[in-house]
Chains A and B, each alone.
Chain A
Amino acid sequence: NAGVTQTPKFRILKIGQSMTLQCTQDMNHNYMYWYRQDPGMGLKLIYYSVGAGITDKGEVPNGYNVSRSTTEDFPLRLELAAPSQTSVYFCASSDLIRGEAFFGQGTRLTVV
């Protein structure tokens, strides 16, 4: 049972480049989330989705975009990378609105 899978694990981007962080889950969960984790700041919600075709902004959506064409996949897009987007990104999913979330292993992104 793979759970939540994120790729890549590490990435270095130059300022202005774009990339997509991939997230897929095999638990048939309706709810999926993207968080970023910065030291001493906890986790901040970037975007979330309550089902295929439905997405909504979290606390810190600027500079990011998402799509949810299938139940399994929830990619996060960075269009014009900036140093402020250097962070560790976590994808998560849950099967109930208020159930526990299952997390991927994270993507460590550095923008230089």
Chain B
Amino acid sequence: AQSVAQPEDQVNVAEGNPLTVKCTYSVSGNPYLFWYVQYPNRGLQFLLKYITGDNLVKGSYGFEAEFNKSQTSFHLKKPSALVSDSALYFCAVNGNNRLAFGKGNQVVVIP
């Protein structure tokens, strides 16, 4: 079975500070990893993905994520957070043709 863990319920960060949202995964075989963002009363929007290649993946809105195979992690990062980044962030893994999501992290960027 595949699974995703997002250990923090909420991440608070001051505007302009670096933002990190943590994700670890468990899957047999090579993982396909994704980050999505959800704004209130909206569907999920794709941010970035790791399939193969460079461990540092760059995505939309200045976000990036680092794949670490030994630690089975795929943390989402942004060098300088904006108030508009406040949203719910989901990590997901696809290891057996089904997309499994973590429980999500609420990110609050404080002006």
Contacts and interface: CB of A to CB of B under 8 A. Distances in A.
Interface of A: 4, 33, 35, 40-43, 45, 48, 50, 58, 90, 92, 94, 97-106
A35 B101 CA distance: 10
B32 A98 contact: yes
Contacts, number: 52
A99 B41 CA distance: 24
B98 A103 contact: no
A100 B98 contact: no
Interface of B: 6, 9, 32, 34, 36, 41-46, 49, 51, 90, 94, 97-104
B97 A97 contact: yes
21 contacts: A33-B99, A42-B6, A42-B102, A42-B103, A43-B44, A45-B98, A45-B99, A48-B98, A50-B97, A90-B43, A94-B99, A97-B94, A97-B97, A98-B51, A99-B49, A100-B34, A101-B44, A101-B46, A101-B99, A103-B36, A105-B42
Given A41-B103, A42-B104, A102 B98 contact: no
Given A33-B99, A42-B103, A100 B46 contact: yes
A41 B101 CA distance: 9
Nearest to A105: B43
A31 to B, nearest CB: 8
B2 to A, nearest CB: 11
Nearest to A43: B101
Contacts of A92: 44, 99
**Which 7 pairs between the two chains have the least Cβ-Cβ distance?**
A103-B43, A42-B103, A98-B32, A43-B101, A103-B44, A100-B46, A42-B101
Contact of A40 (B42, B44, B103): B103
A99 B34 CA distance: 9
A102 B46 contact: yes
